[in-house]
Amino acid sequence: MNGWVIALIVVIVIIIIGLIIYWVRRPRVPAVVPVVPVNPTNPVNPTTPVVPVVPITPVTPVVPTRTFRYIRLFKAGSEGSPINLGEVEAFKNINGLRVNVAAGKPVTATSTYQNYSPSNLTDGSNTTMWHSESIANQSATIDLQNNYELPVDIVIINRVTGFWERAIGVQVQLLDQNMSLIDVRTIADAQATYNISFA
């Protein structure tokens, strides 16, 4: 074999050995992980802080108070249906005391028979009375001269000399300061005394 061929083979072998050594000893480059950019339309939201739950206190509805100023006794009917009652008392609890707020208060009436004045209804005497004429739709109205809140207890004392049945059908009305009806009760039987509570 010619000398130049041998020399060429040796050179090729040396090159191959050099490439192998380089491949084995070359530095390792770590794989590059591509970075995915944050989508600006879907940004990362920070953690929402937890808001403590405050218990809801139930609200008690406010009930409007009802006030009255007048007490009216009214009887509808026909000719020959008079009203004859002895006394009207209206008891309120004021500063811990049971007070008759109708005592001595002025009374007006649609009619009066003889001298049985409507003022007798608040004069404090059970032996006097108011007596209306014997005509239909008679009434007497007590002006308490002040506004009072409910409740109130109304005591009506009938005529002491009888004719209690004439009280049947009498309406006991509470009116406000504008004379508007607040509440009403109707006497249904004949008694000496009526205790009527408005709440």
pLDDT in tens, 177-194: 999 999 999 999 999 999
pLDDT exceeds 90 at position 37: no
CATH number of 67-198: 2.60.120
Look-up: residue for tokens 């406000």? 176
What's this model's pTM, rounded to 2 decimal places?
0.69
pLDDT at res. 43: 56
Question: What is d(CA 73, CA 137) in angstroms, rounded to the nearest whole number?
Answer: 10
DSSP assignment of the chain equals: --HHHHHHHHHHHHHHHHHHHHHHHSPPPPPPPPPPPPPTTSPPPPPPPPPPPPPPPPPPPPPPP-EEEEEEEEE---TT---EEEEEEEEEEETTEEEETTTT--EEES---TT--GGGGGSS-SS--EE--SSSSEEEEEEEEEEEESPEEEEEEEPTTS-GGGGTT-EEEEE-TTS-EEEEEE--S--SEEEEEE-
Q: Where are the domains of the chain?
A: 67-198
pLDDT at res. 74: 98
Q: Give pLDDT tens digits for 45-92.
A: 566 677 777 777 777 776 678 999 999 999 997 777 899 999 999 999
Q: Give pLDDT tens digits for 105-149.
A: 999 999 999 999 999 999 999 999 999 999 999 999 999 999 999
pLDDT at res. 51: 72
pLDDT at res. 29: 58
Q: How confident is the model at residue 44 (pLDDT cuts 50, 70, 90)?
A: low
β-bridge pairing 181-186 and 193-198 = unpaired
pLDDT exceeds 60 at position 104: yes
Q: Residue 147: which residues within 8 A CB-CB, separation 6 or more? A: 67, 68, 69, 176, 177
Range picked from 25-29, 40-44, 159-163 for highest mean pLDDT: 159-163
pLDDT at res. 27: 66
Sign of CA dihedral 75, 189, 187, 92: positive
| Choice between 58 and 163, residue whose per-residue pLDDT is larger | 163
18-27, 39-48, 144-153, range with the lowest pLDDT: 39-48
